[in-house]
Every structure is written in C-alpha cells, then in structure tokens.
C-alpha cells in the first residue's frame, strides 16, 4: 500500500459529494479535483460554489488543491476517488454512463500499485462487475495484482451544516484485506466521527443503497396514510403528533420525495433484484406512492379552487420552493415539477419562486423561469412546497399580499397550524 507521505489523490466529480471531499483531503494531502464541467471548474476557481457546501475562503486560500477539467491533471495521482452521479433514466433504469466514463478516464492513467475508491451509489456488485473490468481493459493492468479498489459510500446531506462530511460516520471497504485497511486509515485522516469497515465491497454497496430505501419506504407509508386521512377529513399531522407520544413511534412526515438519493437509490436495488430473479414488492410500491404525491398535491389545489368558486383555467397560482429540500439549492429530481405540470393541465397560470435555486439552472434543467417573491401578489392559490426558512416566517399581512381574500393556501409541509388562518377568509389545506 502507498505510504502516507506519498499519497496523491484525485477526486473525480466535484458536485455535492466530491467538492467537500476534495477540500477535506487537501488539508492532509495533495489533491486534484477533476470535473468535466468547465463552467463548474471556472466558478470554483473564482471561489464560487453554487452548491453552497464550501465557503469562499476554503477554495481561495487552498494551495494543496488543484481544480481542473483537463484529463492530463490525473497522471500523477495514485489514489482515485470517484464521486460522479448515478441517476436513473426515464424508465427508472440505472444509468451507469457517468460511472463507466469515469472508470475509462482513470484507466488511462492507472499505474501499478494505484487504488481506485468509488463513492457513487450503486447496486451490490456494480463496482467489481462494471467498473473493474473497464479499469482492467483500459489500463491493461490486473485487478488485485497491479491495482486495487475500495468502496466508501457517500453520506453527504445537502444543505446540512451540522451533519457535514467529517461529522458523519463513514463506511469503508477494500478489494483485499490490505486495501480495506488502507482505505480505512485514509478516511480516518479526515472523518472525525469515525470509520466502520465493511467485510466486502458488496456489503458496503448494499449498506448504502438500503439506507435510502428504508427512508423511502417509511415516508411512503406516511404518505399513504395522508391519502387515507385526507378522504376521512382528518389532519394527518395531528394524528402523527398524537401517535408520536409513544416511545417507539418513528417520526416520519408526509411530503414530496425527490433528490438524488431517496428518490433514485431504491431503483438501483430493485434493478439488481429483478436481474437475479426476484420481483420486489414493498420497495416498488413505496416508490409508486412517493412518485405520485406531486400529482396529488396538484389535484387537491384544483379541488380547493373549485370549492371556492374559482375557475381553474383562469386561476393564478404561485409555488414557493422548487428545490428538492429546504434551505438548499439542489434541484435534482425535484417533485415540485410534478405539481406545476399537473396544474398546467387545467390551464392554470403558474409562477414559481425559490430564493435558493439558481435561475439559470432552473431554466436549463427544468424549463422553469423563477420569479422574485415580490412578484407574488393576489394569487388564487399559494403552494408552499418547500420548507425554506423564509417561508416559515410569514405573517397574516404577508398572506394578505400573496393571496386574494378567498384564496387557498396549500401547505405541503404543514408549516402553519390548523387554526393559524381562523380569523381570515383563506382556505388552508395541509398534506
């Protein structure tokens, strides 16, 4: 294994996962941060991180970190860490193209004794079944003889300033006993919370993919309960508050399930399950429920408009929040889009505002032009889809500006109490 004073790291992919990792490792070792997106690299060189995960000072004053979109920058590294996206396509099938491309790039520069560590979320077996053969073919080197692999699943929580990279326990693994020890010791240099070594790469891969699958299924249960309680005219959050008084009741809440992890990772596991001859039941059922919630919110908005004698085809509706979670600029797999699309089927005029989202990215990725909060006036319906901090601090005067007197507030995250609008003429619906 490589001696500590000889370690030179290349991090492939500088998104929400790769950039914090590159910055932390550069405090200990020489690091190359590589990304194919030239705009991303140029922004980072100017000290701007659109993900808001890293401060300007950490980028501007770091002489141990080289940022580049040039493949040649990888030639002197001996530890490669892959943090590229692993999305699904329109058919919910794993898209491993970014992972395969990264492996091909590394293979061109791989030398004897080098180690490749994958952090991207995959199904159990993907590292050694998909990535290793590519590394071998491109490099003409032999796995576990000339080079070695590790797998350490990312656990970044975008927008979370408390549970950061160094404060989350890391799972590591290696293709040999010696590699596993090296990978563990490497991450221990930056992870304050400690490291857990899995018995194999497959175990580490499986551990990651079930973390998010478990959350997805639990949220799906609560979302299904919300659908039932809505028909019974019972407030779901009041039910959850009452049930939560029992010590072992799990505190999940209903909502939209998007993002690059919870809304995607279960499909990696189910893909592999079907491949080996098992048809998942609970996991896919949970996915169907969670994927339907945006449409449900849209339909409930239309019903409230009709009850208030507002013609949906002439209705003006504003959606507050477009990112997949609160206080974060991440737009990946946001289900707010489903609400908007459902409303537009009724010819509603829909405005979208989000203080965290990047307007250029919103237009290019989602074809949605954002408006400022000051442009939200006298709407027939206001949908608070994301619990950004500012949206939790509105008062009655704010809502009187946002809404017409008989307007509807669709409170997806149940931010405001049931009786908050009791002295107004607004209709308040909570998921």
Strands 9-12 and 403-411, bridge-based pairing? unpaired
- Between CA 402 and CA 407, with CA 406 as vertex, the angle to 5 degrees is 40
Q: What is the 3-state secondary structure (H, E, C) of 137-176?
A: HHHCCCECCCEEEEECCCCCCCCCCCCCHHHCCEEECECC
Handedness of CA 53, 59, 62, 66 (dihedral sign): positive
Residues 124, 164: Cα–Cα separation, whole Å? 25
268, 224, 356, 67 alpha-carbon torsion, rounded to 10°: -10
| Catalytic annotation present for 348 | no
- Between CA 167 and CA 174, with CA 171 as vertex, the angle to 5 degrees is 140
* Token digits of residue 302: 């239309």
Per annotation, catalytic residue among 261, 328, 348, 408 = 261
* Token digits of residue 371: 């408006």
Handedness of CA 50, 54, 60, 65 (dihedral sign): negative
| Residue 365, Cβ density class (10 Å: 0-12 exposed, 13-18 middle, ≥19 buried) | middle
Rg of the chain on CA atoms, in Å: 24
Residues designated as active site: 261
């Amino acid at each position: 294994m490589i001696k500590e004073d000889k370690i030179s790291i290349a991090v492939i992919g500088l998104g929400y996962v790769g950039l914090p990792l590159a910055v932390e490792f550069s405090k200990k070792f020489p690091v190359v941060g590589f990304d194919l997106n030239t705009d991303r690299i140029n922004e980072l060189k100017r000290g701007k991180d659109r993900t808001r995960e890293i401060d300007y000072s950490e980028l501007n004053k770091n002489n141990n970190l080289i940022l580049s979109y040039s493949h040649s920058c990888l030639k002197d590294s001996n530890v490669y860490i892959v943090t590229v996206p692993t999305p699904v396509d329109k058919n919910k099938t794993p898209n491993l193209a970014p992972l395969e491309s990264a492996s091909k790039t590394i293979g061109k520069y791989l030398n004897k004794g080098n180690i490749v560590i994958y952090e991207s979320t995959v199904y159990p077996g993907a590292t050694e079944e998909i990535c290793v053969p590519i590394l071998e073919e491109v490099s003409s080197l032999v796995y576990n003889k000339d080079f070695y692999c590790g797998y350490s699943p990312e656990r970044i929580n975008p927008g979370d300033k408390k549970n950061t990279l160094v404060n989350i326990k890391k799972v590591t693994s290696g293709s040999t006993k010696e590699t596993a020890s090296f990978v563990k010791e490497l991450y221990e240099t930056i992870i304050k919370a400690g490291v857990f070594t899995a018995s194999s790469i497959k175990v580490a891969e499986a551990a990651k993919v079930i973390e998010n699958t478990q959350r997805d299924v639990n949220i799906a249960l609560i979302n299904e309960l919300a659908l039932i309680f809505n028909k019974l005219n019972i407030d779901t959050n009041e039910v959850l508050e009452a049930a939560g008084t029992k010590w072992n009741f799990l505190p999940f809440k209903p909502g939209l399930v998007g993002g690059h992890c919870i809304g995607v990772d279960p499909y990696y596991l189910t893909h592999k399950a079907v491949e080996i001859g098992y048809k998942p039941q609970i996991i896919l059922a949970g996915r169907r429920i969670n994927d339907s919630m945006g449409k449900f919110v849209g339909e409930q908005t239309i019903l409230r408009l009709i009850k208030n004698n507002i013609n949906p085809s002439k209705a003006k509706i504003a959606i507050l929040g477009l990112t997949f979670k609160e206080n974060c600029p991440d737009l990946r797999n946001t289900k707010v889009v489903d609400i908007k699309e459902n409303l537009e089927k009724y010819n509603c005029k829909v405005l979208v505002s989000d203080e965290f989202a990047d307007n250029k990215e919103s237009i290019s990725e989602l074809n949605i032009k954002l408006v400022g909060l000051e442009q939200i006036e006298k709407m027939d319906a206001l949908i608070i889809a994301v619990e950004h901090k500012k949206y939790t601090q509105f008062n009655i005067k704010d809502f009187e500006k946002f809404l017409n007197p008989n307007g509807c507030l669709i409170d997806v995250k149940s931010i405001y109490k049931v009786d908050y609008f009791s002295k107004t003429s607004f209709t308040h619906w909570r998921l």
